[in-house]
Amino acid sequence: MSEVMIDAADGGRFSAYVAEPTVTSAGRLAGGLVVIQEIFGVNAVMRELCDWYASQGFLAVCPDLFWRQQPGVQLTDKTEAEWNQAFALMNGMDQDKAVEDLKAALAWVRGQEGCTGKAGSVGYCLGGRLAFMMATRSDADANVGYYGVGLEGLLGEAGKIAKPLLLHIAENDKFSSPDKRDALLAGVKGNKWVTAKVYPGMDHAFARPGGEHYDRDAADEANRLTVEFFRTHLG
């Protein structure tokens, strides 16, 4: 585990947490993953996720997407003050520039000696939205979004998806509504590249360990499918 600096396309540099694969055999290259943060920054949860993906054989990098506002943000979901700060940072983010930063991180991980050259993205919450945008705006080899926010508003870009995309959707997501969920499902139904799985009874962030709505069974299922998906498309 380490931290690196990556050059942004529009100038400046941002930090990223890196976890190297631990289960690849000697001399075997790994697929790369850009792990996209929630609204809490590159905190302990995101670093642990990177470590877990590394344990599954991937070279994982989690870039700091709040660096233009406040570098090094590490919040939790435990206090109202942190939630308020997290929402302020999310609302202050230029998501178009965030995608450009993610593309820079994608190029960085592809260029590492231990990477196969294939790389994808996986994001959570805000990151789930950005993973969808990576599917429509980047050449990532595969993308996964966990309970992305406001995806129904991005359906106008769905026709640009030309690589596999897996969406994990919480049936009872408190940051969405049944109408928005159904609109998303209808909007991607005919796209051969998109797989959308709904988790019955689950709320937002059901896969965040220690979170209010964490559900071990649903999280384990989603994580299993994600690893299988990336092993298939980044192998």
C-alpha span between 45 and 64 (Å, rounded): 14
Find out whether 67 and 14 touch, Cβ atoms under 8 Å: yes
End-to-end CA distance of the chain: 22
Of the candidates 64, 101, 141, 173, the residue annotated as catalytic is 173
d(CA 211, CA 144): 20
Residues 156/132, Cβ–Cβ less than 8 Å = no
Known catalytic residue at 204: yes
Other CB atoms closer than 10 Å to residue 192's CB: what's the count?
A: 8
| Beta-strand relationship, 13-19 and 59-63 | antiparallel
Which member of 64, 141, 168, 204 is catalytic?
204
Mark whether 64 is an active-site residue. no
- The angle formed by the CA atoms of residues 137, 64 and 69, to the nearest 5 degrees, is 100
Active-site annotation, residues = 173, 204
